[in-house]
Chain A
Amino acid sequence: MSKFCAINIQNNHVVFLYMEKKAQGYSLLECNTIDKSELSKYTKNKKIFFLSIEQDEVVDEKISIESVIKNDSVIRSMILRKLRESNLNEQILFNYYSLPQNQNDEKITYQIDGVYEERYLNSLKLIDDLSEIESATTNKFSLLGISNECIKEENYFSIHTQANKITTIAVHKNALIFSRVNTIIANDARTRETNLVEEITQTIAYVQQNFRDINFSVIALSGSLAIDDIIVEHIYMMSQIGISVLYPNTFIKGFEGEEAHQYIFSLGSWYVPKKFQFLPTSILGLKQYALSLKTLLVASIVLAFIGSYLAYDKFDLYSDSLQEYEIVKNRLDTLARKTDTYSNEKLNQSLRYIQMSEKYLEHHPLDIILAIKPLIELEKPQELQWNYSENNLKLTAAFKRPFNSLLELYEFEKLFFDKFEDINITFTKKYLVKTDYKKMDFDTTITIENSLEKATAVAGRRRR
């Protein structure tokens, strides 16, 4: 809330203040006293209104209720019943608050302040946009508001005079315990002065009589009364209570001297606590609607931004994938153009050739002969037979050699069979020993065939 309007709607005119809230207080931007019909011109394009409305007829009642009853709805219904009994049949907006009581009292006395809704609404409707009304109340509560800001005493009177109207309030611990609005009638200044003093002092005496336990320490004056020294002196002499003047200039800038006293009700309008405000439910509804609309507006704009961001994000990813598509497609097209494709006939021909190569080049006698080369180098075989038919492969080689000494035979055998064991081949290898040890004739036939059984010794003696 930076700039706002404080408006005091009187019977015949309107006091319009345009204020600005600053760190150190408030500052007056504009002040006008205007006709009611001109108000809409001043409120155009402005927001936030604090209203203080003069009401000639108000509800000012008291009700005593058992102290055990605390429920707000119950108290309100009891108040309404009392008001109906008082023949108040019009719609009323009212607030209530408890008055100070003695400890022994079983009942609590409530002050009821109210306004007649229809007449009150007529004043409110001077504002074009009702949802911008932040607060609305009657003049005496505005006086209470500004007085609490200026006077820091616990119990005091605040009296405001404007022309012949006197507004008197008694304050106890920042709460209103008494109020009265009088109009004095006088033909001349002297009579007016006398009536004024009499009225004020009688009112003060009345309050003191009714609130004996409260010690009022100061009378705060405002309005035309604040600048009249003689009246102030008389009031002091009659009441024997210290006199003070409301001086809002310390926290509200823009007024010179006592200029602020002309605008006391307007200046107090934004200091009124909620419990002293009168806002019809229709206006509360409008405010809630306006708030909901603002919230919805913000939310919808935020959602629109979020949606736009998400859509842009997805668009970005989509765009990237399209770029990648172009690159990959071009690459594919280039590769497809460059890559030769052979006819099925050619491919089948190649496949047949490869299959035939695998079949007919799988086995060659040299493969196994090379495998047993260490044995051949040791002793050329007397006989070598290699056979491959119907997928069966077999090699047999007969090694024969005569020896003169058993030692030579033994050593040859050892070497031969070691080399045989070392043959690294996937086929089955075996040997048949036919060595004649009497004649020392080495005779061994090795067989290699294409099965995966382990190598085994078949018959014959073999010495190691």
Chain B
Amino acid sequence: MKNIIIITFSLLLFVLTIALMNWFEEEEAKVKAINVLNNKNIQKLQKIAQINLWLDHDIIPAISDDQNDSLMTDKNMIYFFDDNKDKYNLLVDKYIYKDDFAKNIDLSYSISKGGRDKLKDFIKIEYDDGFLQFRELKIDVNGIVGKIQVVQPHSEENNLSQHNGEDDVPQ
């Protein structure tokens, strides 16, 4: 009788331990899957931190707060024109117009013959609130002429000026 009790108990213990083993195995697999996911999230966060560092260092400081202000964005372009028009004989080719995420103003410039130094300055010129895209540069015996496009980034929600083309450009 004693042996039968021991046998029964041992077999029950065996069945229980096998069930327990399977349960531990399943739970371990679940935990491992969670760990893999968490490790991936850690990698993502590390990547985000790297990107944040780059944004904080290189991008966000370059984005002007004026972008949200429609009036300021227009004025910035106009200030640029006024500040440089005499030096580089700037003329408005196409007054303030909008495309995708930017406001633009197309200008033409001319530098007289012998003004190579002026050209050097002009070619290095920067528009602090946006971008300057050279469209045309012509150097010949008569001098240096060309076109540039002043690009002013702005926020979409704002009410933008919709002046269009040469008709509105004061010459």
Contact = CB atoms under 8 A, between A and B. Distances in A.
B42 A301 contact: no
A247 B40 CA distance: 88
Contact of B28 (A317, A388, A389): A317
Interface string B43-55: 0011011001001
B111 to A, nearest CB: 13
A365 B123 contact: yes
A336 B45 contact: yes
Contact of B25 (A307, A314, A352, A388): A314
A306 B14 contact: yes
Nearest to B22: A314
B138 A384 contact: yes
Contacts of A322: 31
Interface in A312-366: 313-315, 317-318, 321-322, 324-325, 328-329, 331-332, 335-336, 338-342, 346, 349-350, 352-357, 360-361, 363-366
Interface in B82-133: 101-102, 123, 130-133
B17 to A, nearest CB: 3
Contacts of B7: 293, 296-297, 300
B163 interface: no
Given A300-B6, A301-B6, A335 B46 contact: yes
A339 B56 CA distance: 13
A450 B21 CA distance: 68
B13 interface: yes
A382 interface: yes
16 contacts: A296-B7, A297-B10, A300-B6, A304-B17, A307-B14, A315-B20, A317-B28, A335-B45, A350-B60, A353-B62, A356-B130, A366-B123, A383-B138, A384-B138, A385-B139, A389-B135
B144 to A, nearest CB: 9
Given A301-B10, A311-B21, A314-B24, 20 more contacts: A294-B3, A297-B6, A300-B11, A304-B11, A311-B18, A325-B31, A325-B35, A328-B35, A338-B49, A339-B49, A340-B52, A342-B52, A349-B67, A353-B63, A355-B101, A360-B132, A364-B134, A384-B139, A384-B140, A385-B136
Nearest to A294: B3
Interface residues of A, number: 57
Contact of B14 (A303, A335, A338, A356): A303
Closest 4 CB pairs of A and B: A307-B17, A300-B10, A314-B24, A360-B131
A236 interface: no
B8 to A, nearest CB: 8
Contacts of B59: 350, 353-354
Nearest to B137: A386
B68 to A, nearest CB: 9
Contacts of B11: 300, 303-304
B27 interface: yes
B32 interface: yes
B38 interface: yes
A45 B4 CA distance: 19
B136 A304 contact: no
A288 to B, nearest CB: 15
A365 B134 contact: yes
A383 B142 CA distance: 10
A321 B52 contact: no
A339 B48 contact: yes
Contacts, number: 159
A332 B138 CA distance: 58
A387 interface: yes
Given A328-B39, A386-B137, A307 B153 contact: no
Nearest to B133: A360
B156 to A, nearest CB: 9
Contacts of B149: 360
A325 B34 contact: yes
A40 interface: no
Contacts of A384: 137-140
A387 B35 contact: no
Contacts of A387: 135-137
Contacts of B25: 314, 318
Contacts of B13: 304, 307-308
Contacts of A186: none
Contacts of A457: none
A375 to B, nearest CB: 14
B79 to A, nearest CB: 19
Contact of A388 (B21, B131, B135): B135
B48 A352 contact: no
Given A304-B13, A307-B21, A339 B41 contact: no
